[in-house]
A and B are shown apart, each in its own frame.
Chain A
């Protein structure tokens, strides 16, 4: 009975194990079956690594200062996809305009936190732990959020990433994968024997490597029991050939197959750190984002109402162009939110771009703390109490982006 073993090992939190929660008679099989019909709400966080430029993503084309600051890398008025009289999408985000008009896509500008710093590493670390300027926080913010909901299956939180993201670091189990379609043990001529022996080699091993091995086998089993996970995209959706495309295609598969997953983290490495040649990099990367989000919405159809997908990055970029047709590290960034959101509008107070309005006379200032956004989405999608989700910070009511 490998199942009993794997249930036990899923519980890495000693407190839960002591309470015997891990031995409840419920099983992943039951959960998976429920999930298919229960309409479980899902939180999806898409993290653009490198400091994505919010001012060229959703362009303040109505603010003339933008054009004087940005010079040759400004997006011309005639090319933006206007959302209102002030803001417009970068032209590569055109596939998202219908979703915006239908109220299923929202923009949140000038979000961040000035303590995140302009270091990629620190800013990512602080944002993922949810504690700006405090490096002592051991867990990621989504790990703490998952700890507040029932259940402890390995498929409850999934990260499409080559490594465990800091956001999910902590005692809760996570299925980290780049591809779910090939998530199986090989072994060629002795596949069956290797499978049996390796499971036995990992059974009950209470070391970090031992526990990860057990999670790996549990994930293999969970995916094998849910063949619907392999279904092709629905409604004619076509994803772009890029990391964000293949990851969101698989997120949609998870949502449709009812795997019981409540949180998904999508890691997106890419050309976002645009110190040079920004226009070219923006066109390539933003097109992938636009196409992937549009395909995801088309693929899920009405199931999109169960999802809140938020796209963000560690910091925005300086308000002015640098000497290399690029921008250096900045402060506030811009988020996109898709699904069950109050869409069709650009949320967040606009701080302006004049010298006195810029943060330290160089960056877009922050008007919404990123933790207020994370907390609002976690309350809505996971039903958790967020008052103590971020050590040292009590989130406010939030910017009201979730519908």
Chain B
């Protein structure tokens, strides 16, 4: 049974044509490239979605990333390198950032890239923070990426035991409190940071009804979970584990346990109703609307529960829902800075050989990638990203882009115009072509008219300046 079987016959039959294709490309990925709309319609919306859920190999993307050699290192190798030379971490960060932009723009599996971004943000760590300068790239590659269309319990387990998370939320320091045999004084050992955010941000959510005592006991479950910095690996130190009984939000953990205390709690939380609901709502917020329909969230939570937290099945529920396809839901959801930059680059078929400078622009728009300080991650609500500071940075990005002013990126707007059948020296012709390629419902008459007023003389080319106006327009800020 296909993804779209539950959606109205009208959409499944493709009556909406290009509009439905653009709608889809904007929601499951970073927006259409010129020609994408036709390709997706030819392939069929249903087949396209199945391919996105499958995420087959992408040799073209692999070739683009080949020069980024640190992506193929292991965390133990990088840790050894870092121990010898702390400056070596800079290359890891640079290549991670560059790869992030290249993937967002050029990956065929757009949904996979959106989900890597989504889940990294859900399980946020900060690359500016000490050892995470080394560990973050491997955290994304080894703990996040393999599970983004897999089982949530596996994803949760992988993040909990990864050195990047153990470091970011300080759990590597957390030990059982004990009495000093020499002085008889109590030495406090517990660190609550991970235990609290595990409940609040990673699983059941802040409104689930847990108490400070539950936070305390959750933290005790993970005492002794630490990092072998030399090997760059997870390490359980049994002598630092609090072996007393714990009680966390309905789970009783008997005394005498070890590493399994934390594992039991992760399993328990991963299958909790509140987690199914919390995770479903957040996915709906990303893929449907800022305030997602309650009924859809409930259906997703049921899909989650009946498949042991299979993210692919939750995604299938979302993508097959009328709410996802109904244009009024989430119409005009503002793009995050990353979504805006990637969609603009895709819209003009830009070639990105080095993503670093683009990442710099995204940072100026208010979203330094991999550097979100608080564990909440960046907001999934589009409305939170609209403000004059970010807006000015977005318009300047568009103007720099079409003027050839962003290094590591090449754009030929005239070629895009010609390949779309437009006359590259005729502003209205270029504007009309871009409107059809990028915007499902087309540009507003106002924007189309303004873009058509671009002077026929000047630098950069007519097509580039028309593209600049279109990319900086109000319509381009929303998906």
Interface stretch (choices A28-36, A212-220, A333-341):
A212-220
Judged by a CB distance under 8 angstroms, whether B474 is at the interface is: yes
- Residues of A contacting B373 in the complex (Cβ-Cβ under 8 angstroms): 49-50, 269
Q: How long is the Cα–Cα vector from A219 to B393 in the complex, in angstroms? A: 14
Q: Would you call B193 and A275 a contact (CB within 8 A)?
A: yes
Q: Would you call B390 and A185 a contact (CB within 8 A)?
A: no
Which chain A residues in 163-215 approach chain B with CB under 8 Å? Answer: 163-164, 174-178, 183-190, 193-194, 197-198, 200-205, 207-210, 212-213, 215
Q: Would you call A197 and B384 a contact (CB within 8 A)?
A: no
Known: A275-B170, A276-B191. A187 touches B450 (CB 8 A): no
- Residues of A contacting B477 in the complex (Cβ-Cβ under 8 angstroms): 209, 212-213
Judged by a CB distance under 8 angstroms, whether A119 is at the interface is: yes
Q: Which residue of B lies closest to A191 (CB)?
A: B399
Q: Would you call B334 and A194 a contact (CB within 8 A)?
A: no
Q: How long is the Cα–Cα vector from A204 to B449 in the complex, in angstroms? A: 14
Q: How long is the Cα–Cα vector from A273 to B372 in the complex, in angstroms? A: 14
Interface magnitude class on chain A: 35 or more
Q: Would you call A121 and B388 a contact (CB within 8 A)?
A: no
Q: Would you call A162 and B392 a contact (CB within 8 A)?
A: no
Q: Would you call A120 and B193 a contact (CB within 8 A)?
A: no
- Residues of A contacting B458 in the complex (Cβ-Cβ under 8 angstroms): 189-190, 193
- Residues of B contacting A49 in the complex (Cβ-Cβ under 8 angstroms): 373-374
Q: Would you call B188 and A201 a contact (CB within 8 A)?
A: no
Judged by a CB distance under 8 angstroms, whether A360 is at the interface is: yes
Instruction: Pick the residue among B173, B189, B465 that contacts A194 (CB under 8 A).
Output: B465
Least Cβ–Cβ distance between A164 and chain B, in angstroms: 4
- Residues of A contacting B390 in the complex (Cβ-Cβ under 8 angstroms): 162-163, 176
Instruction: Pick the residue among B201, B374, B383 that contacts A208 (CB under 8 A).
Output: B383
- Residues of B contacting A290 in the complex (Cβ-Cβ under 8 angstroms): none
Least Cβ–Cβ distance between B376 and chain A, in angstroms: 5
Least Cβ–Cβ distance between B19 and chain A, in angstroms: 19
- Residues of B contacting A219 in the complex (Cβ-Cβ under 8 angstroms): 388
Q: Would you call B474 and A329 a contact (CB within 8 A)?
A: no
Q: Would you call B192 and A193 a contact (CB within 8 A)?
A: no
Judged by a CB distance under 8 angstroms, whether A249 is at the interface is: no
Q: Would you call B376 and A212 a contact (CB within 8 A)?
A: no
Q: Would you call B386 and A209 a contact (CB within 8 A)?
A: yes
Q: Which residue of A lies closest to B397 (CB)?
A: A186
Which chain B residues in 431-479 approach chain A with CB under 8 Å? Answer: 444, 446-447, 450-451, 453-455, 458-460, 465, 468-469, 472-475, 477-478
Instruction: Pick the residue among B187, B189, B388 that contacts A175 (CB under 8 A).
Output: B388
Q: Would you call B376 and A205 a contact (CB within 8 A)?
A: no
Q: Would you call A202 and B474 a contact (CB within 8 A)?
A: yes
Judged by a CB distance under 8 angstroms, whether B260 is at the interface is: no
Q: Would you call A121 and B206 a contact (CB within 8 A)?
A: yes
Q: Would you call B200 and A119 a contact (CB within 8 A)?
A: yes
Q: Which residue of A lies closest to B476 (CB)?
A: A209
The total number of A-B Cβ pairs within 8 Å is: 183
Q: Would you call A121 and B189 a contact (CB within 8 A)?
A: no
Q: Would you call A120 and B374 a contact (CB within 8 A)?
A: yes
Q: Which residue of B lies closest to A205 (CB)?
A: B474
- Residues of A contacting B374 in the complex (Cβ-Cβ under 8 angstroms): 49-50, 120-121, 269, 273
Least Cβ–Cβ distance between B220 and chain A, in angstroms: 11
Q: Would you call A163 and B366 a contact (CB within 8 A)?
A: yes
- Residues of A contacting B405 in the complex (Cβ-Cβ under 8 angstroms): 188
Among B177, B366, B455, find the residue whose CB has the most chain A CB atoms closer than 10 A. Answer: B366
Least Cβ–Cβ distance between A27 and chain B, in angstroms: 20
Known: A189-B403, A212-B387, A322-B190. A200 touches B450 (CB 8 A): yes
- Residues of B contacting A161 in the complex (Cβ-Cβ under 8 angstroms): 389
Least Cβ–Cβ distance between B201 and chain A, in angstroms: 8
Known: A163-B384, A185-B392. A207 touches B332 (CB 8 A): yes
Least Cβ–Cβ distance between B170 and chain A, in angstroms: 4
Query: 0/1 per residue, A301-335, Cβ < 8 Å to B?
Result: 00000000000000000001111101011000000
Q: How long is the Cα–Cα vector from A190 to B405 in the complex, in angstroms? A: 13
Q: How long is the Cα–Cα vector from A186 to B386 in the complex, in angstroms? A: 20
Least Cβ–Cβ distance between B354 and chain A, in angstroms: 20
- Residues of A contacting B383 in the complex (Cβ-Cβ under 8 angstroms): 208
- Residues of A contacting B465 in the complex (Cβ-Cβ under 8 angstroms): 190, 193-194
Q: Would you call A322 and B200 a contact (CB within 8 A)?
A: no
Least Cβ–Cβ distance between A45 and chain B, in angstroms: 17
- Residues of B contacting A201 in the complex (Cβ-Cβ under 8 angstroms): 446-447, 450-451, 469, 472-474
Judged by a CB distance under 8 angstroms, whether A110 is at the interface is: no
Q: Would you call A212 and B193 a contact (CB within 8 A)?
A: no
Judged by a CB distance under 8 angstroms, whether B385 is at the interface is: yes
Judged by a CB distance under 8 angstroms, whether A118 is at the interface is: yes
Least Cβ–Cβ distance between B429 and chain A, in angstroms: 17
Judged by a CB distance under 8 angstroms, whether B396 is at the interface is: yes
Please report B residues at the A interface, Cβ cutoff 8 Å: 169-170, 173-175, 177, 187-193, 196, 200-201, 206, 212, 215, 332, 334, 364, 366-367, 373-376, 379, 383-392, 395-396, 399-400, 403, 405, 444, 446-447, 450-451, 453-455, 458-460, 465, 468-469, 472-475, 477-478
- New A-B contacts (14) at CB < 8 Å, excluding given A187-B399, A190-B460: A119-B200, A121-B374, A161-B389, A163-B366, A178-B364, A185-B396, A193-B454, A197-B451, A197-B453, A198-B473, A201-B469, A212-B477, A219-B388, A328-B192
- Between A and B, 20 residue pairs with Cβ closer than 8 Å are A164-B387, A174-B388, A176-B387, A177-B389, A184-B392, A186-B400, A187-B403, A188-B405, A189-B459, A190-B403, A193-B465, A197-B450, A200-B446, A201-B451, A216-B388, A216-B395, A219-B388, A322-B192, A323-B177, A326-B170
Please report A residues at the B interface, Cβ cutoff 8 Å: 49-50, 117-122, 154, 159, 161-164, 174-178, 183-190, 193-194, 197-198, 200-205, 207-210, 212-213, 215-216, 219-220, 269, 273, 275-276, 320-324, 326, 328-329, 360
